[in-house]
């Protein structure tokens, strides 16, 4: 018999659970199979590529990235996360009415090729830019900070330059994120 335990969390602003989930089930499987949230990508299955990354709201008001292919759903119990589906603002019918600045910049810069890694890069950029709200960087340090934010994310199509340019544009256009 498969042992199950309940999981309750907030996903994309909505309370989910308690849902009985098999012990050891990866979070990505819970998102895909239980909630039909398939935008988060399963790629390497080893936590190396970060395509499966979601945004986690921390108790101190900051955000962090968390991989879903190597961490079980039960590790997310009680947390609040945002998947790629929860990034844009939607109307009551679920239609997208406004993209986030990160999403719009990625589109403007065509910062993706096949798009498979894009949800993880959107999560990384979102966490990075959220961090700049709390701790702005000097203009001279911005490029290094963006590189550090993306250093663990892998794009098989080599779209790094466009991801980088999109995030730099948002950081420079947002008052208070970059200081001279």
Q: pLDDT digits over 78-125, tens only? A: 999 999 999 999 898 888 899 999 999 999 999 877 888 899 999 999
Kindly provide the residue ranges of all beta strands, DSSP E only, lying in 4-88, ordered along the sequence: 4-11, 14-22, 53-57, 63-67, 80-82
Q: What is the pLDDT of residues 17-60, one digit of tens each?
A: 999 999 999 999 999 999 999 999 998 889 889 999 999 999 99
Using CA atoms, how far apart are residues 77 and 178, in angstroms rounded to an integer? 35
- pLDDT recorded at residue 44: 87
Using CA atoms, how far apart are residues 88 and 148, in angstroms rounded to an integer? 25
- pLDDT recorded at residue 157: 81
- pLDDT recorded at residue 45: 86
Q: Which of 56, 53, 19, 25 is nearest to 39 (CA)?
A: 53
CATH numbers and ranges of domains, the chain:
4-86 (3.10.20.30), 89-179 (1.10.150.120)
Provide the CA 6 distance to its chain's centre, in angstroms: 24
Task: Check if the beta carbon of residue 145 is closer than 8 Å to that of residue 128.
Answer: yes
């Amino acid at each position: 018999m498969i042992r199950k335990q309940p999981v309750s969390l907030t996903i994309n602003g909505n309370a989910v659970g308690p849902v009985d989930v098999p012990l050891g089930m990866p979070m990505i499987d819970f998102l895909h199979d239980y909630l039909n949230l398939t935008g988060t990508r399963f790629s390497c299955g080893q936590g190396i590529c970060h395509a499966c990354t979601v945004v986690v709201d921390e108790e101190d008001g900051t955000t962090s990235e968390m991989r879903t292919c190597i961490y079980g759903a039960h590790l997310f119990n009680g947390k609040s996360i945002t998947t790629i589906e929860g990034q844009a603002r939607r109307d009551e019918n679920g239609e997208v009415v406004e993209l986030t600045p990160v999403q719009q910049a990625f589109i403007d810069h065509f910062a993706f090729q096949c798009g498979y890694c894009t949800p993880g890069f959107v999560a990384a950029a979102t966490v990075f830019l959220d961090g700049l709200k709390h701790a702005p960087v000097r203009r001279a340090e911005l490029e290094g900070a963006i590189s550090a934010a993306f250093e663990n994310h892998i794009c098989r199509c080599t779209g790094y330059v466009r991801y980088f340019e999109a995030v730099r544009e948002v950081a420079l256009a947002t008052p208070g994120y970059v200081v001279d």
